[in-house]
Structures are given as structure tokens and as C-alpha cells.
Amino acid sequence: MLIFIEENIKILYVIVILLLPYIFIVIYGYFRDEVKQKQNSHYDEIFIQKLLKTGVPLIINFESAVNNIEEKIKPCNEDVDYLKQFFLFNMFLNNQIDEVFTLVELKYKIGKKVFLKKIFFPFSKQSTESILKMQKKTTLYYNPKSPQESIVDLQFINNYI
């Protein structure tokens, strides 16, 4: 009986040692992405605040400025895929819904040059088109030294969320 318990403990040690790298990879990947997103969002916020203060405002009419509208579908969570590979959570995780968003490409002209700006809407293509029909104009702020650096005022989206 004692030998049987010792063999089971050895097997358990081997299983734990084999699982540790997978657990480490999942945890490392999660925290790496979280730290990177926080750093990027900090720099983006500084860029946005600078453009709002020093940028030149340009009124954009959505009816004439929309160059392309494309719907994108993103799987709900990449971390869930890691968990599905190593654990038996499939029965709990299959009901998750993919994220749908729409990429709108705007065309705007400054002087003689034409620029393109891509913006994301957290809605389906049909909803985004409806919102753009209701909200006919918005403001784009651009850097006068480098007009391709721009942001679009999307505060009106809060009315639809």
C-alpha cells in the first residue's frame, strides 16, 4: 500500500512539472498584454490631449467624407483559447459571443492633399450606418505641421451606448 501511494505521488509530481510551463505561459501572456496596453493608452491619452489643445479643428460631413465602411468580427477573448487548449472548460465557454465592430475610413482634404483616417465604432455595420445618418457632422482635429496626425471627435457615440 505504501509503495502504491509513493508511485502516485511521483506521478503527481511529474504531472505538476509538465503543467507548470503551460500555466506560466498563460499567466505571462496575460500580464504582458495588460502592461503593454496600459503604456500605450497613456501615450495615446497624451497625444489626444495635445491635439485637442493645439490641433486645428476641421468639420467633417459624414455623408461626403466616408470612404469605406467595413464590419470586423473578433473572437471574444484570446485568453479563453489558451484555457480551452489545456483544460476542459469547453462546455462553459462555448456560449460566448464574438465582438463585432465597424471600421470606417474617412477621407478629408487639407489644402491640396487628401488624407485618410480610420476610426472604429463598437457597433455592427448597419448600426454604424444608421448612427452616421443621424449624426451628420463631427470635428476632426489635426496637427498643422503633420496633417496625417489627427483625431476625430466621437463623443456623440455615448448617446448610442
Query: Each residue of 116-136: pLDDT tens digit?
Result: 999 988 888 998 899 889 989
Do 117 and 147 lie in one domain? The reply is yes
Q: Are 104 and 119 in contact (CB under 8 A)?
A: yes
What's the pTM?
A: 0.60
Residue 149, pLDDT score: 87
Do 61 and 112 lie in one domain? The reply is yes
**Of 13, 36, 53, at which residue does a domain stop?**
53
CB-based contacts of 2, cutoff 8 Å, min separation 6: none
Do 109 and 150 lie in one domain? The reply is yes
Q: How many domains does the chain have?
A: 2
Residue 26, pLDDT score: 73
Do 22 and 32 lie in one domain? The reply is yes
pLDDT tens-digit map of 140-161 = 999 888 888 888 888 888 877 7
Do 77 and 142 lie in one domain? The reply is yes
Do 49 and 59 lie in one domain? The reply is no
- The pLDDT-based confidence of 57 (bands split at 50, 70, 90) is very high
Mean pLDDT of 30-47: 68
**Which domain does 31 fall in, by range?**
1-53
Do 77 and 29 lie in one domain? The reply is no
Q: What is the dihedral of CA 148, 151, 152, 154, to 10 degrees?
A: 160
Do 23 and 33 lie in one domain? The reply is yes
Looking at per-residue pLDDT, the higher value among 6 and 116 belongs to 116
For the sheet with 137-142, list strands across it: 56-61, 137-142, 150-152
Do 9 and 88 lie in one domain? The reply is no
Do 112 and 46 lie in one domain? The reply is no
Q: Are 91 and 74 in contact (CB under 8 A)?
A: no
pLDDT tens-digit map of 68-110 = 899 888 766 555 555 555 555 555 555 556 678 899 999 999 8
Do 62 and 43 lie in one domain? The reply is no
Do 59 and 113 lie in one domain? The reply is yes
